[in-house]
Amino acid sequence: MAAPVAMDVRPITTPHLDLDHLPLVDKDFQIKYTDVREFPVKLYYQYKDQHLNKADQIGLWESNLPRYQFPEVHIFPKNFHYCHTNYSPNQRAVMSPNEDVLFTITVESINEMLHLQPGQNLTPISIGNLLDQFPKLTTTRLAEIFQTFIVEEKYIPKDPPPYMWTIFSKLVLDTVSMISSVLGYTTSEYVDEIILTFMSIFTPRQPPAVMYDYAKYISDKMHEQFLRMDDEECLSILQFCTTFSYIIKLINSHLLFKNLLPEATLG
């Protein structure tokens, strides 16, 4: 392992300590304002309010998806290099210069950070899993999805996907934004097999048919990215590090609440 380096970071505005604000990265200078239809923070509170007001049409909040989606953030190379250089694969943890565990990259740490207890019987999720499930959708189920989520009946497609996003309701577009932020997958113009498979778990006025294990996907992806990177290629591929938002939040949680490095702050 390379010699540990001290974290040379800038201060940030301290986030709200109210539990309602803890699940998401704060809407400050960290957020990267890309061309998105809706900001994740807005979607989070929109679907939380709908759930509390019993107006959630398909149980989207119950699926936990709004709680796992994070905004894309700017990359801070020094912080990422520190985590990468001091990552212990066996412990799945970022270590301090004293070789203490700063934070772990596990299902438990992701859920603890988000103050979630998602329960049992969770189903693995990935782009590959969703693609594999699409051929198993029956013609009847696809017709039900179209009737539920397409704006007008005249737009119901007869050809195979992908389909233009303009024929679908805002609910689908919001879901596309959220699932893309979790999977690191984007589809700005089309609704394809991946999105249709995901939407198939929802039926109006019923709980989601499947509860996906988002925390396992996120923690495994972070672990894999640390293992695959070396110092020479790290900077060149940071822009593709889809889990950096979660790393930022884990560091924030560590610095602000565990107080293991009181002299350091994140920027």
Taking only the tens of pLDDT, the chain with its 267 residues reads 445 444 444 444 444 434 333 333 343 444 444 444 567 778 888 999 999 999 998 999 999 999 998 766 656 667 777 888 889 999 999 988 888 888 899 999 999 888 888 888 899 998 889 999 999 999 999 999 999 999 888 899 989 898 988 899 999 988 888 888 888 776 667 888 999 999 999 999 999 999 999 999 989 988 887 887 765 455 444 444 556 777 777 777 665 444 444 344 333
Is 65 a domain residue? no
pLDDT of residue 238: 47
Q: What is the pLDDT of residue 246?
A: 79
**Angstrom distance (rounded) from CA 35 to CA 131:** 26
* pTM of the complete model: 0.77
What does the pLDDT read at residue 230? Answer: 65
Give the count of domains, the chain.
1
The amino acid that residue 253 corresponds to is S
The answer to whether position 204 is within a domain reads no
Question: Which residues span the domain enclosing 5?
Answer: 1-32+71-121+213-267
Cβ density class 82-114: b for 16+ within 10 Å, e for less? bbbbbbeeeebbbbbeeeeebbbbbbebbbbbb
Q: Residue 196 and residue 189: Cα distance in Å, rounded? A: 14
Residue 184 lies in a domain: no
Q: CA 121, CA 127: separation in Å to the nearest integer?
A: 20
Cα 114–Cα 118–Cα 124 angle in degrees, nearest 5 = 105
57 assigned to some structural domain:
no
According to the model, what pLDDT value does residue 83 have?
83
* DSSP 3-state of 12: coil
Query: What SS3 class is residue 211?
Result: coil
Tell me the C-alpha distance between 227 and 203, whole Å.
39
DSSP alpha helix (H) spans, 134-267: 139-149, 170-183, 193-199, 214-228, 231-237, 244-253
The pLDDT assigned to 92 comes to: 94
| DSSP-derived 3-state class of residue 253 | helix
d(CA 185, CA 52): 29
Classify residue 248: in a domain, yes or no: yes
Q: Which residue from 53, 56, 77, 54 is spatially nearest to 66, judged by alpha carbons?
A: 56
pLDDT attached to residue 233: 54
Torsion angle of alpha carbons 195, 216, 248, 2, nearest 10°? -130
Query: Is 102 contained in some domain?
Result: yes
Q: Is residue 75 one of the residues assigned to a domain?
A: yes
Inside any domain, residue 64:
no
Measured distance CA(137)–CA(162) in Å, rounded: 15
